[in-house]
Amino acid sequence: MRTIYWENDQVKMIDQRRLPAALDIIACKTHAEVARAIKDMTIRGAPAIGAAAGFGLALAARQSPARTPRDLLADLQAASTLLRSARPTAVNLAWALERVMRCAESKTNLSADGLREAILNEAQAIADEDVQINKRMAEHGAALIDDGDTVIHHCNTGALATVDWGTALGVIRTAHEQGKHVHVLVDETRPRLQGARLTAWELEQYGIPYEIISDNAAGHFLKTGQVQKVLFGADRVAANGDVANKIGTYMLSLAAHDNRIPVYAVVPTSTIDLSLASGDLIPIEERDPDEVLGIQFHGESVTPREAEARNPAFDVTPNRLITAIVTENGIVYPPFDVNLSKVVKVK
């Protein structure tokens, strides 16, 4: 099943906050509800967020009382501003909103209802294309996986992070389906534990062997020769190949680089932001400290009552630590500032 889809004038999505305890589907009836679902991580993962944003605009168009294309565009712009503010780091959010808005602005010759239909069609196209893009990415990336490899995977990059199939985990899934024996060490990915909760759950569905490790154990497994590859996704890639991904990716990449283990980021070209020269310009979302302070062990809080916390959701891995970036248009090797633009421009 898809992580997110349109049904009966509603946006349906898997509630990722409930996994692995329960597989629940929620319905969003307004673009404000979609924005809330993005912000509170009911839906997460850069490609999935992009699809959600597109469908959010389709909801806004349906609910707008506008009778003319011009008035409808004004309502869509307001909805786009709200949706864009939900998660600042993932570039796919802005990319999808801009794509749908360009579509709307190019079809003002239609009636208001005709424009509403065109907007929904464009949002659906973004979702459908995501699945095909992920499968192409997975085919390219699977060529990097050897039979018998043990891979460290950070965060969640599977079908749950996309409309379907996945990015980095999609590569592992494809290699598995090709008959390669792959073992995955799953970083917990604190503080929200997307690895322990979501990646582990997906790997069980696919029948891929895995073990969960604490984030700070990765260096041990890399140094002792128990890992052959490191894979993760990204929420934004700068023009020079710097990668913004879930917090902890930088430390993992440093340890892999020190032990000469290849590090691969797997991203659709919609995640590559050529407008930013380097990762220093990528906005880093800082989330509610309660995500850190609310962690419990055996039912009791692990922190003192008056403790404070910092909770950046992402960090930036310098391009020098990245072996290659896998996209739907092929595998990109350094120099990234030269080669990334070549795959982004491929239609």
Which residue numbers are catalytic? 235
3-state secondary structure the chain: CCCEEEECCEEEEECCCCCCCCCCEEEECCHHHHHHHHHCCCCCCHHHHHHHHHHHHHHHHHHCCCCCHHHHHHHHHHHHHHHHCCCCCCHHHHHHHHHHHHHHHCCCCCCHHHHHHHHHHHHHHHHHHHHHHHHHHHHHHHCCCCCCCEEEECCCCEHHHCCCCECHHHHHHHHHHCCCCCEEEEECCCCCCHHHHHHHHHHHHHCCCEEEECHHHHHHHHHCCCCCEEEECCCEEECCCCEEEECCHHHHHHHHHHCCCCEEEECCHHHEECCCCCHHHCCCCECCCHHHHCCEECCEECCCCCCCCCCECEEEECHHHCCEEEECCEEECCCHHHHHHHHHCCC
Closest CA to 269 of 167, 170, 145: 167
The Cα 304–Cα 108 span in angstroms is 58
CB 291 within 8 A of CB 311: yes
Closest CA to 59 of 85, 82, 89: 82
Half-sphere exposure of 258 (CA within 13 A, CB side): 13
The Cα 333–Cα 108 span in angstroms is 42
